[in-house]
């Protein structure tokens, strides 16, 4: 029996994966324009940005793209933004996608959904429609969106879709402004029999502006939210156990460029919605050309230098990927300190064993190890201080002796 070296085994697996690359699942961003001006958003532009509007793919260009995707075996489509209903021709594009046989999911903030829009969706329902909530109270919601009246319009959209029995899901992004209402939003969803999820990870803008990080939760606050949901903890533990970070040569280990892709409002094909370093403009060539050449080349990139991420056994707890490295560090291979901090704190709080994995500041003996042990102790005592409060919360004296 022939014994293969790891590098040769990796090359053979890579060849087999690329031989079966089919763009089954795609995200198409229809526009970056949005009626809201949320503090945390990574790609929103004003509704009246005429230059952005003129640069967006036309209705006919979207139809041609859909025809090509159908011929290549694509099945699942996600339409996102910005705000998808900011496009006046939304239903021209959506109806064409539905009648072409795609399973379509819609991401929206709901602000532009009125009875006419709800009726059109009911006539040709999507596979799923997800509305993002930004708070449970008007004060919190509009503090984040910065648009008066947006809370009531969102609540009305939820009612309109539920009245028509559309496949609605609700979600939120947990930030410093709405952290205290995350589980109130979950209760709101539960009372309506609607699935709810939340995510605490905030990215810089796709133009690399760090502005959204101003409302990002601290690692301690993120893990405190996790600890309030037993099912969430078990899911993190399952991820750590079932998906250990095996050594590999390839830079990417996601589905991007293998079975998934993203297209931005201006026709740029990329490996995902966050990574815009490598792109292929579909106005200059076919989707098949971009898929076969650009995304194949992106997926062929290999790791050029080892880092503490290379052998980290709990990488599934942080979500580190080349896109995160690009946005936060300008380098797809540079570890993101914030994500590393979160992963190690999750491991400590959830009782997940952390194996040594190189020169890591957060591991035993590292210069930031105390940040993990002290935060884990505070979490155990329920002594986390939210950033939205100006005064410290009362807590356990064994963690913080108070004078």
Q: Is residue 158 part of a domain?
A: yes
Q: Is residue 265 part of a domain?
A: yes
Are residues 260 and 354 part of one domain?
Answer: no
* Domain C-terminal end among 244, 273, 299: 299
**Torsion over CA of 131, 136, 140 and 145, rounded to 10 degrees?**
10
CATH value at residue 66: 3.20.20.70
CA distance 199 to 324: 15
Are residues 336 and 203 part of one domain?
Answer: no
Are residues 290 and 319 part of one domain?
Answer: no
Are residues 336 and 288 part of one domain?
Answer: no
Which pLDDT value is given to residue 362?
93
Dmax over CA atoms of the chain, in Å, equals: 71
- What's the predicted TM-score (pTM) here? 0.88
Q: Is residue 136 part of a domain?
A: yes
Instruction: Evaluate the omega torsion of the peptide bond into residue 82 and state whether it is cis, within 30 degrees of 0.
Output: yes
Pairing of strands 280-281, 33-34: unpaired
* Domain C-terminal end among 299, 333, 361: 299
Which pLDDT value is given to residue 384?
62
- Return the bridge partners of 79, or none: 28, 106
Are residues 206 and 96 part of one domain?
Answer: yes
Are residues 205 and 344 part of one domain?
Answer: no
Total tally of structural domains belonging to the chain: 2
Q: Is residue 242 part of a domain?
A: no
Contact between 163 and 115 under an 8 Å Cβ cutoff? The reply is no
Contact between 110 and 162 under an 8 Å Cβ cutoff? The reply is no
Are residues 124 and 46 part of one domain?
Answer: yes
Q: Is residue 387 part of a domain?
A: no
Which pLDDT value is given to residue 1?
41
Other Cβ atoms less than 10 A from the Cβ of 108: the count is 24
- Identify which of 157, 155, 154, 142 has the alpha carbon closest to the alpha carbon of residue 38: 142
- List the domain range (segments joined by +) for residue 102: 21-217+252-299
Contact between 325 and 332 under an 8 Å Cβ cutoff? The reply is yes
Q: Is residue 293 part of a domain?
A: yes
What is 117-186 written as a DSSP string?
HHHHHHHS--SEEEEEE--SSHHHHHHHH--TTHHHHHHHHHHHHHHTT--EEEEEE--TTTGGGHHHHH
Q: Is residue 120 part of a domain?
A: yes
- Cβ neighbors of 275 (< 8 A, separation 6 or more) are 256, 322, 323, 326
Print pLDDT tens along the chain (403 aa).
444 443 444 444 444 444 578 999 999 999 999 999 988 887 778 889 999 999 999 999 999 999 999 999 999 999 999 999 999 999 999 999 999 999 999 999 999 999 999 999 999 999 999 999 999 999 999 999 999 999 999 999 999 999 999 999 999 999 999 999 999 999 999 999 999 999 998 888 777 778 888 899 999 999 999 999 999 999 999 988 888 777 778 898 889 999 999 999 999 999 999 988 899 999 999 999 999 988 889 988 999 998 888 888 888 898 899 999 998 899 999 999 999 999 999 999 999 988 888 889 999 889 999 999 999 999 988 766 554 333 333 333 333 332 3
Are residues 208 and 95 part of one domain?
Answer: yes
Are residues 339 and 289 part of one domain?
Answer: no
Are residues 324 and 177 part of one domain?
Answer: no
Q: Is residue 262 part of a domain?
A: yes
* Domain C-terminal end among 236, 266, 299: 299
Are residues 199 and 262 part of one domain?
Answer: yes
Radius of gyration of the chain (CA): 22
Q: With H, G, I as helix, E, B as strand and everything else as coil, classify residue 372.
A: helix
Are residues 337 and 199 part of one domain?
Answer: no
């Amino acid at each position: 029996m022939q014994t293969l070296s790891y590098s040769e085994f990796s090359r053979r697996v890579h060849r087999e994966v690329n031989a079966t690359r089919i763009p089954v699942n795609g995200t198409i961003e229809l526009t970056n324009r949005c009626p809201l001006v949320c503090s945390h958003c990574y790609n929103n532009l004003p509704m009246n940005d005429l230059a952005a509007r003129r640069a967006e793919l036309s209705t006919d260009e979207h139809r041609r793209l859909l025809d090509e995707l159908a011929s290549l075996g694509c099945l699942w489509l996600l339409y996102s933004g910005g705000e998808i209903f900011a496009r006046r021709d939304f239903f021209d594009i959506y109806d064409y996608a539905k009648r072409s046989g795609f399973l379509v999911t819609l991401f929206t903030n709901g602000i532009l959904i009125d009875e006419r829009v709800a009726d059109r969706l009911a006539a040709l329902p999507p596979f799923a429609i997800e509305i993002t909530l930004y708070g449970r109270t008007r004060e919190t919601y509009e503090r984040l969106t910065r648009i008066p009246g947006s809370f009531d319009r969102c609540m009305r959209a939820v009612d309109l879709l539920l009245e028509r029995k559309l496949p609605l899901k609700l979600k939120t992004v947990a930030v410093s402004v709405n952290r205290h209402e995350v589980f109130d939003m979950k209760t709101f969803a539960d009372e309506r029999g609607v699935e709810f999820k939340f995510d605490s990870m905030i990215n810089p803008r796709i133009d690399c502006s760090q502005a959204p990080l101003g409302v990002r939760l601290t690692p301690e606050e993120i893990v405190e939210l996790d600890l309030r949901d037993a099912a969430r903890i078990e899911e993190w533990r399952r991820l750590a156990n079932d998906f250990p970070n095996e050594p590999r040569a390839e830079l990417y280990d996601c589905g991007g460029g293998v079975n998934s892709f993203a297209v931005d409002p201006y026709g740029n094909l990329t490996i995902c919605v966050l990574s815009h370093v490598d792109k292929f403009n579909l106005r200059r060539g076919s989707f098949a050309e971009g898929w076969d050449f650009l995304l194949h080349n992106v997926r062929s990139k290999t790791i050029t230098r080892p880092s503490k991420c290379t052998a980290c056994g709990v990488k599934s707890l942080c979500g580190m990927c080349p896109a995160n490295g690009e946005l936060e560090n300008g380098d797809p291979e540079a570890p993101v300190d914030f994500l590393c901090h979160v992963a190690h704190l999750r491991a400590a709080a959830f009782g997940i064993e952390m194996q040594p994995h190189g020169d890591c500041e957060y591991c035993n003996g590292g210069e930031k190890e105390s940040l993990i042990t002290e935060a884990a102790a505070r979490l155990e005592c329920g002594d986390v201080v939210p950033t939205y409060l100006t005064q410290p919360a009362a807590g356990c004296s064994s963690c913080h002796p108070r004078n």
